[in-house]
Structure 1
Amino acid sequence: MLVEEIMNRDVITLSPTDTIEKALHILQLNRIRHIPIVEKNKDVIGIISDRDIRDASPSIFKNNTVAEELKNELHTIMSSPVVTVHPLDFVEEIARIFYDEEFACLPVVRKDNRLVGIVTEKDMLQTLIQLTGTNVPSSHIEVRVPHRPGILPEVTSIFGKRKVNIVSVLVYPYKDDPAYKILVFRIQTMNPLPIIQDLRDAGYDLMWPNNIPGPKQ
């Protein structure tokens, strides 16, 4: 899945000379947490967050300085330079940036650094839900298999014989043992017991469910 498939294209931006007061108003009005800072040609030069605004805003106990501090320009508090991604980057790859850098959003730019969208933590979580198939009624099955070529089609053929639709497939390492992998299936049936029995009959080790016997056929 590509970034351009999940990014928000309708991005609210501000200029570096706009005030903290204006940014605060926009954040509250639109219920957003981040605003990219751009120049006239939409080149991204910075970004601010609701936390930046809170840190730069005066204390409620200093009413006499409220107007002055909120009139400071955004270039004085924005984060710069900005880590950005390209619309043709893979979502799975930018997830690593979110994790490693602990970012809450990433501006999306073309090669000329022109802003074309933004991706947030919420977008990433929604994508994870879609990729794992948890957004549709389904049953969850985990199978431990040898880590060798051709194992995935061997296992999926068992689902095919039952004419069961596979919603998603994920592959995980098995603990610290490189000889095995965990295949995680979500299948579109609310009665997985026949499939469970078929997998056991084929000699596969069920990790989940591992305590539900399938019906003998």
Structure 2
Amino acid sequence: MKQRVPVSQIMAKALIAVSTNKKLSEVNQLFIEYNIRHIPVVEAETVVGIVSSNDILKIGYGVSDLDKDALDAIYDAYKLTDVMTKNPIVVTDETSIKDVAEIFSKQQFHSLPVVNKDNELQGIVTTTDMINYLIAQY
């Protein structure tokens, strides 16, 4: 298995990112519409946080998806900055896949924003990307 392959080879480059002023109901709609689980939060192209679909689900736990008005009321009670992970660990597009795998193995999250040398968002890498890379090796 190639160990020094840069994460830029497996990361998602066409990604959705949101600013801190995005409404939670809009963020939730992005999760549904694009069938994704993690969204970087940026200000002026710099990563300031990351939000997962689980972060959104937690605050609406117990409310039926059919009760859209109740969910919207709950989502309106929070700001994105209340539920996102602030200042997440990021990796550069040159970080090796091996190094990313080591980070995932030691942490309890499933995605990392990928930035360039100027700290601008370039993509996102997930544990699913890592598994798909591993499968392709065999």
Contact 1:46 1:82 in 2 (8 A): yes
Contact 1:7 1:119 in 2 (8 A): yes
Q: Is 1:82 the counterpart of 2:85 in the alignment?
A: no
Which of these residues, 22, 33, 41, is aligned with residue 18 of structure 1?
A: 22
Q: Give 2:131's aligned residue.
A: 125
1:43 Cα shift? Answer: 0.5
Contact 2:45 2:120 in 1 (8 A): yes
Bigger radius of gyration? 1
Q: Give 2:62's aligned residue.
A: 59
Which of these residues, 77, 91, 94, is aligned with residue 97 of structure 2?
A: 91
Distance 1:111 1:67, change over 3 A: same
Query: In structure 2, how many angstroms separate the alpha carbons of the residues matched to 1:77 and 1:52?
Result: 6
Q: Give 2:116's aligned residue.
A: 110
Distance 1:58 1:68, change over 3 A: farther
Deviation by residue 1:105-161 (Cα, 9 ceiling, x = unmatched):
111001322100111111101111223xx2xxxxxxxxxxxxxxxxxxxxxxxxxxx
Number of matched residues? Answer: 130
CA RMSD across the alignment: 1.6
Letter in 1 for 2:88: V
Q: Is 1:8 the counterpart of 2:24 in the alignment?
A: no
Query: In structure 2, how many angstroms separate the alpha carbons of the residues matched to 1:34 and 1:67?
Result: 20
Q: Give 1:34's aligned residue.
A: 38
Q: Is 1:48 the counterpart of 2:37 in the alignment?
A: no
Letter in 2 for 1:33: R
Query: In structure 2, how many angstroms separate the alpha carbons of the residues matched to 1:26 and 1:66?
Result: 15
Give the fraction of aligned pairs with identical amino acids, expressed as a percent: 32
Structure with the largest fraction of helix: 2
Q: Is 1:70 the counterpart of 2:62 in the alignment?
A: no
Which of these residues, 85, 101, 112, is aligned with residue 107 of structure 2?
A: 101
Task: Extract structure 1 runs of 4+ deviating beyond 4 A.
Answer: none
1:24 Cα shift? Answer: 0.8
Listed as ranges, the gaps of 5+ residues in structure 1 are 135-217
Contact 2:63 2:70 in 1 (8 A): no
SS in 2 for 1:103: coil
1:65 Cα shift? Answer: 4.5
SS in 2 for 1:10: coil
1:58 Cα shift? Answer: 5.7
